[in-house]
Chain A
Amino acid sequence: MTYRVRLSQFEGPMDLLLHLIRRDKINIYDIPISHITREYLAYLEIMKELELEMIGEFFVMAATLMRIKAQMLLPRRIEEEEMEDPREELVRNLIEYRKFKEAAQHLSEMEETRRKVFTRPTPNIPEDDGTVRMTEVTLFDLLGAFQKVLDELKKQVSYRIERETITVEEKVAAIREMLENQSEVLFTELFREGFNRIDIIVTFLAILEMMRLGELIARQMSHSSDIWLYKPGTHSYIKAKEMSDGIREQH
C-alpha cells in the first residue's frame, strides 16, 4: 500500500509557478517562458516519481505554458504588433492570485491571534441533524407523562365502545402526517379524549418508535412542565437561526 500525499491540500499549479518565479528571481512582467516551462515540467516529473496524487489542473497549466511558448516562437508580422503578448493573461492571473495569497496570509495571522483568546461556549442547542436528542426529556419524563395520561383515563366516568384497534405502524403514520402541517405538538395533545387504554399505549409506543428513528425530538422547559414534540430540523433550526441573527443584525 503506497501512502499518497494529496497535493491539492497544499498547493496548486499557480503556487508552483509563483514558487519558480520567486526562486529564480524572475520579473513577473517578463517571464522567460521556455525556462519556466522547462522548470515547471521538471517539477511535474518529480511529483509523478514521488507518486503524489496530482490534480488535473497541473497538466492543464503545463498545456497552457506549452501553448504560450509555441506562440512566442512564431514569427510575428508588423500588422500583429498590437496583438496581446501571449503571456499577458497568465501574468494577469498570477498577479491576481498572488494578491489573494497575500490576503490569505493576513487572514492566517488574524486567525492565529484570535486563537489565543477564548470566548463563552455555545449553549447546547439541538442541532439540525435529525438524531434523537433527549437532552432535556428523559425516558422517565416520558413515562411520567404517560402515567398522567393513564390516570386521566381512569377518572373518566364512561368508556366509549371499543373500536377496531390501531397498530403502532398506523399510529406512526398518523403522527407523521400531523407533523407535516404543524412543526410541534404537545405530548398530551396526541392523547385525545375518547381514547381507550390500548389506543393510549399504541400512541405512546409510536412516539418512542419515532424518537428512536430520529423523527421526533422531545423537549421541555423544566422537568415538571409540558413535553413538546418536534420534527427535527424545525424547532432547533428556528432557535439556532434566532441566535445567529442576533449577531448578524449589524451586517
Chain B
Amino acid sequence: MASESSIDNDKAKLEREIEALLFASDAPLSAHRLASLTGVQSPSTIRSTIESLDRFYREASRSFQIVEVAGGYQITTLPDFSSLIAQLFKSRRKARLSQPALETLAIIAYKQPISRVAIEAIRGVNCDGVLSTLMDRDLIVISGRGEGIGRPYLYSTTGTFLEYLGLKDYRDLPSIADLEKKVSGIDTMNEPPTGVTDETSQNESSYISDE
C-alpha cells in the first residue's frame, strides 16, 4: 500500500514538474530535454506523463492543451478561445504570410538547402524581398553555401518554421507525391480544349500525335 502511494506521489510530482516547465517555457520542449531537466531516465516516461496530463486538462474542461510541435511539447490555449484572445493581442499580432512568402517558404521546405537562383527559377520572379522577410521572421536561415559560380547562399527552414505552422516535424508536411496527385487531378478535369480554337492548334497537336 505504502509503496503504491509513493509511486502515485512520484507520478503526480513528475506531472507537476512537467506542467511547470511547459507553462514557463516560451518554446517547445523536447521529451529528451524534459527528461534531463526532471531527472527522469526515459523520454517515453515523459511522453506518457504528458499524455495523461493532457487527458486531465480535457476531462477537467480546461482552456488549454499540450500540443506536439517542432520536435517538442508546448502548452497552448484551445482554438475555441482564438477570437477572445485575439482581442487581447489586437495590435500585437504578426501579419499572415503573403502568397509569395508562402510559396517561397514551401519551395524551401521541400527543397532545402536551396539557393535563391533555384527558388527564382521555380517561381519565375525575383525573390530578394520575400527571402529577407522570411529571414526577419526566423522562418528560414542561410544554412550554407552551394557549389558553382559565386558559391551562392543556401536557405533552409528553421525550428521556428515548424512551430509557426504547428508541425511536429517535416513528416507532417504533405508529401511531394500527394501534391503531385492533387494537382494532376486538375489535369484530368481539364479535358483537351474543345471550345478553344486556335490557328496553330492543328500544328501543335501534331507534336503529340507524331509520337
Contact = CB atoms under 8 A, between A and B. Distances in A.
B107 interface: yes
A97 B124 contact: yes
Contact of A8 (B30, B78, B125): B125
B208 A30 contact: yes
A113 B125 contact: no
Contacts, number: 206
Interface string A214-249: 000000000000000000000000000001101111
Interface in A122-171: 122-123
B100 A102 contact: no
Interface stretch (B52-60, B146-154, B175-183): B175-183
Nearest to A34: B200
Interface in A100-133: 100-108, 110-123
A100 B30 CA distance: 30
A190 interface: no
A118 B77 contact: yes
A5 to B, nearest CB: 14
Contacts of B199: 34
Contacts of A114: 164-166
B70 A32 contact: no
A247 to B, nearest CB: 4
A57 B160 CA distance: 32
Given A55-B126, A243-B27, A9 B100 contact: yes
Interface residues of A, number: 67
A96 B186 CA distance: 14
A104 B165 CA distance: 12
Given A27-B192, A114-B166, A243-B27, A13 B125 contact: yes
A102 B175 CA distance: 11
B24 A99 contact: no
Contacts of B27: 243-244, 246-247
B4 interface: no
Contact of B158 (A35, A87, A118, A248): A248
Contacts of B179: 99, 102-103, 106
A100 B75 contact: no
Interface of A: 8-14, 21-22, 24-35, 55, 57, 61, 69, 72-73, 81, 85, 87, 93, 95-108, 110-123, 243-244, 246-251
6 contacts: A8-B126, A72-B200, A73-B200, A104-B103, A111-B165, A244-B160
Closest 6 CB pairs of A and B: A250-B71, A114-B166, A103-B106, A116-B79, A116-B82, A117-B76
